[in-house]
Amino acid sequence: MTMTFTKSPSHMVTSESVTEGHPDKLCDQVSDAVLDAILARDPYARVACEVATTTGLVIVMGEITCNCYIEIPDVVRGVIKDIGYTRPEYGFDYEGCGVVVSIKEQSKDIAMGVDQSIETREKATDNDVNDSLDKLGAGDQGFMFGFACNETPQLMPLPILLANRLCRRLAEVRKSNMLPYLRPDGKSQITVEYRHGVPRRVDNVIIAAQHDPVVSHNVIQRDIIEHVIKATIPPSLLDKKTRYYVNSTGRFVVGGPVGDAGLTGRKVSVDTYGGVSRHGGGALSGKDPTKVDRSASYAARHIAKNVVAAGLADRFEVQICYSIGKAHPLAISIEAFGTAKVDEELISKLIKEHFDLRPEAIIRRFDLRRPIYRAVAAYGHFGRDDLDLPWEKTDKVAVLQAEAGLAGSRNSLQEQPSK
| Catalytic residue (choose from 28, 32, 42, 50) | 50
Flag whether 415 is in a domain.
no
Task: Tell me if 70 sits within 8 A of 38, measured CB to CB.
Answer: yes
Task: Examine the residue annotation and report whether 305 is marked as an active-site residue of this protein.
Answer: no
| Catalytic residue (choose from 16, 25, 296, 313) | 25
Query: Any idea what the CATH number is for the domain that residue 63 is in?
Result: 3.30.300.10
Task: Examine the residue annotation and report whether 82 is marked as an active-site residue of this protein.
Answer: no
Q: Which domain holds residue 383?
A: 142-152+291-404
Judgement on whether residues 33 and 15 belong to the same structural domain of the protein: no
Identity at 177, one-letter amino acid code: N
Task: Examine the residue annotation and report whether 63 is marked as an active-site residue of this protein.
Answer: yes
Q: Looking at residue 129, what is its pLDDT? A: 45
Q: How far apart are CA 281 and CA 270, in angstroms?
A: 13
| Catalytic residue (choose from 92, 143, 147, 252) | 252
Flag whether 412 is in a domain.
no
| Pairing mode, strands 46-54 and 10-18 | unpaired
Q: Looking at residue 281, what is its pLDDT? A: 87
Task: Examine the residue annotation and report whether 24 is marked as an active-site residue of this protein.
Answer: yes
Judgement on whether residues 32 and 68 belong to the same structural domain of the protein: yes
| Catalytic residue (choose from 20, 119, 288, 293) | 293
Distances (CA, A) of 185 to 26, 52, 168: 10, 16, 12
Judgement on whether residues 213 and 146 belong to the same structural domain of the protein: no
Task: Examine the residue annotation and report whether 28 is marked as an active-site residue of this protein.
Answer: no
| Catalytic residue (choose from 168, 266, 301, 393) | 266
Flag whether 285 is in a domain.
no
Flag whether 393 is in a domain.
yes
Task: Examine the residue annotation and report whether 353 is marked as an active-site residue of this protein.
Answer: no
Judgement on whether residues 227 and 184 belong to the same structural domain of the protein: yes
Judgement on whether residues 399 and 319 belong to the same structural domain of the protein: yes
Task: Tell me if 294 sits within 8 A of 84, measured CB to CB.
Answer: no
Domain stop point among 212, 231, 257: 257
Judgement on whether residues 310 and 363 belong to the same structural domain of the protein: yes
Flag whether 73 is in a domain.
yes
| Catalytic residue (choose from 46, 183, 278, 291) | 291
Judgement on whether residues 27 and 15 belong to the same structural domain of the protein: no
Task: Examine the residue annotation and report whether 260 is marked as an active-site residue of this protein.
Answer: yes
Judgement on whether residues 28 and 96 belong to the same structural domain of the protein: yes
| Catalytic residue (choose from 135, 168, 211, 267) | 267
Judgement on whether residues 200 and 107 belong to the same structural domain of the protein: no
Task: Examine the residue annotation and report whether 403 is marked as an active-site residue of this protein.
Answer: no
| Catalytic residue (choose from 22, 135, 365, 374) | 22
Flag whether 5 is in a domain.
no
Judgement on whether residues 180 and 148 belong to the same structural domain of the protein: no
Judgement on whether residues 300 and 400 belong to the same structural domain of the protein: yes
| Catalytic residue (choose from 135, 183, 278, 287) | 287
| Catalytic residue (choose from 24, 134, 223, 335) | 24
Q: How far apart are CA 359 and CA 147, in angstroms?
A: 19
Q: Looking at residue 263, what is its pLDDT? A: 98
Judgement on whether residues 191 and 222 belong to the same structural domain of the protein: yes
The HSE-up count of residue 331 (CA atoms within 13 Å, CB side) is: 9
**Total tally of structural domains belonging to the chain:** 3
| Catalytic residue (choose from 131, 260, 356, 385) | 260
Flag whether 361 is in a domain.
yes
Task: Examine the residue annotation and report whether 252 is marked as an active-site residue of this protein.
Answer: yes
Using N-to-C axis directions, what is the helix angle for 397-404 and 292-309, rounded to 10°? 60
Flag whether 271 is in a domain.
no
| Catalytic residue (choose from 121, 201, 231, 261) | 261
Task: Examine the residue annotation and report whether 50 is marked as an active-site residue of this protein.
Answer: yes
Task: Examine the residue annotation and report whether 393 is marked as an active-site residue of this protein.
Answer: no
Task: Examine the residue annotation and report whether 291 is marked as an active-site residue of this protein.
Answer: yes
Q: Looking at residue 230, what is its pLDDT? A: 98
Task: Examine the residue annotation and report whether 293 is marked as an active-site residue of this protein.
Answer: yes
Q: Looking at residue 1, what is its pLDDT? A: 41
Task: Examine the residue annotation and report whether 104 is marked as an active-site residue of this protein.
Answer: no
Q: Looking at residue 119, what is its pLDDT? A: 83
Q: Return per-residue pLDDT of the chain as tens, 419 residues.
A: 445 555 568 899 999 999 999 999 999 999 999 999 999 999 999 999 999 999 999 999 999 999 999 999 999 999 999 999 999 999 999 999 999 999 999 888 787 778 778 888 887 654 554 568 988 889 889 999 999 999 999 999 999 999 999 999 999 999 999 999 999 999 999 999 999 989 999 999 999 999 999 999 999 999 999 999 999 999 999 999 999 999 999 999 999 999 999 999 999 999 999 999 999 989 999 999 999 999 999 999 999 999 999 999 999 999 999 999 999 999 999 999 999 999 999 999 999 999 999 999 999 999 999 999 999 999 999 999 999 999 999 999 999 999 999 876 545 554 444 33
Environment class of residue 6 by beta-carbon count within 10 Å: exposed (0-12), middle (13-18) or buried (19+)?
exposed
